[in-house]
Amino acid sequence: MLAFDISSNAQNVDLSSVDEFLNITALLKNGEEVNMEQWNQLDSSAAYSLFSNSKDNTIPNIVKAVMLDIFGCSDSKEQTQNGSLLETSVRENYEDIKKNYSEIRKFRDNYDFEYLISNAKFRLQTFLGCDQLDASVKWRPVYFFFLSQDGKELDNAIVIDLNLIYKMAEEERINFLAHEFFHLYRAHFEHHEFNYANDINFAIDMIANEGIADQIDKYMGYDQYFSNFSKSKELASEFKQLYNNAPKDIEYLQTTIAQYAANQIDKDTCIDRLISIYKYNGHALGFYVSNQIIKAGLRDEMIKEFHNPYEFFRLYSLTLPKNEEASLNDDFLHFLKAETEQYY
């Protein structure tokens, strides 16, 4: 691999959405009016513009309505999206921001975000066990904003809620961002022709993708991970339940794929069945698989082929006797090898 130099792989870190949000909420807290130009500046800032320029204005509408509701002094409350899950998570986050408003402003002004980027890349480098990260990888900019306490890799940038970063310990911040960087780094080596050929391939690859990435920031297990953050109890409970159901879901996955490979079910039926177990991009399912691979002493082999979904499932098949629940049958592996061998 080519030499990794933090200075030569610098990423754009943009806080314009944070600043516009704080400017408007400061006015609202003081009972002042916000004019159209100020709202437009918020919408056109780096992170929010990624959602404002789409045909669906759901996110901009929720952001504005909840900002007015939480930070405004008026008795007249904006109409929002009828209590959608997104609105609820945004509302909970904005209420939390209001409680810690002064400290969050200080954090924004004093925290070294560039240093966080460098540390997250180094964390990824050590996780992958390489002396250097590949210098040909194009790193997307990191945009901070306020929405719900989460982060996500989009086509043009990585967007991260600043309140989430504020509430984390430094090691947790580094691991969280390194997780997102893993997806970006892996995308440089994975084969998009395979991944995006159909929904079946996409789901299989994403299970491997998230399963390995979760070892960066959730290696301690879902119980401890979710207890460290103010995420909803419902979400934590759902993730743990999905993890506990993983052995049965793996068996269901391989049976479904084997039936599809044998022309016993059509593609639409196969996809419908996979959707029933493919929750949250396959996080819990993939995390269970990667944990079993690591317990079997095959971590290095998994990391070496971190971009190859066939190797991920093949290594898992080595961790269990063929007759044990959740072991992968030969039909499934033969299908996956045939689908991937021209790419990997």
Give the burial class of 165: count Cβ atoms within 10 A of its Cβ; 0-12 exposed, 13-18 middle, 19 or more buried. Answer: buried
In a domain, 247, yes or no: yes
- Express each pLDDT in 213-228 by its tens digit: 999 999 999 888 887 7
Do 234 and 323 share a structural domain? yes
Do 52 and 124 share a structural domain? yes
Say whether pLDDT at 171 is over 90.
yes
Is the alpha carbon torsion for 167, 172, 174, 175 positive or negative?
negative
In a domain, 229, yes or no: yes
Mean pLDDT over residues 11-25, rounded?
95
Do 261 and 151 share a structural domain? no
Higher pLDDT, 326 or 118: 118
Nearest to 145 by CA among 67, 216, 256: 67
Say whether pLDDT at 270 is over 80.
yes
Of 145, 167, 189, which residue constitutes the final position of a domain?
189
Of 189, 224, 249, which residue constitutes the final position of a domain?
189
Do 81 and 94 share a structural domain? yes
Higher pLDDT, 54 or 231: 54
The overall average pLDDT reported for the chain is 90
Per mean pLDDT, which range of 9-18, 64-73, 265-274 is the poorest? Answer: 9-18
In a domain, 170, yes or no: yes
Do 260 and 130 share a structural domain? no
Say whether pLDDT at 193 is over 80.
yes
Do 180 and 196 share a structural domain? no
Angstrom CA distances, 88 to 62, 71, 284, stand at 10, 16, 23
Do 331 and 196 share a structural domain? yes
Phi, psi of 13 (to 5 degrees): -110, 120
In a domain, 4, yes or no: no
Do 246 and 113 share a structural domain? no
Mean pLDDT over residues 158-179, rounded?
96
Predicted local confidence at residue 83, as pLDDT: 65
Contact 133, 124 (CB under 8 A): yes
H helix runs in 111-169, sequence order = 113-128, 162-167
| Confidence band for 233, pLDDT divided at 50, 70 and 90 | confident
Predicted local confidence at residue 7, as pLDDT: 39
- Express each pLDDT in 300-316 by its tens digit: 999 999 999 999 999 99
The domain of 137 spans: 11-189
Concatenate the DSSP letters of all residues of 51-76 into one string.
HHTSS--HHHHHHHHHHHHHH---SP
Of 189, 221, 248, which residue constitutes the final position of a domain?
189
Do 143 and 236 share a structural domain? no
Structural domain count of the chain:
2
Do 169 and 79 share a structural domain? yes
Do 31 and 66 share a structural domain? yes
Q: How far apart are CA 325 and CA 245, in angstroms?
A: 12
Predicted local confidence at residue 324, as pLDDT: 60
Per the structure block, which two tokens stand in for 337? 């090898």
In a domain, 277, yes or no: yes
In a domain, 1, yes or no: no
In a domain, 84, yes or no: yes
Do 225 and 114 share a structural domain? no
DSSP letter (8 states) at residue 328: P
In a domain, 140, yes or no: yes
Query: Around Cβ 173, how many Cβ atoms within 10 Å?
Result: 21
* pTM (global) more than 0.75: yes
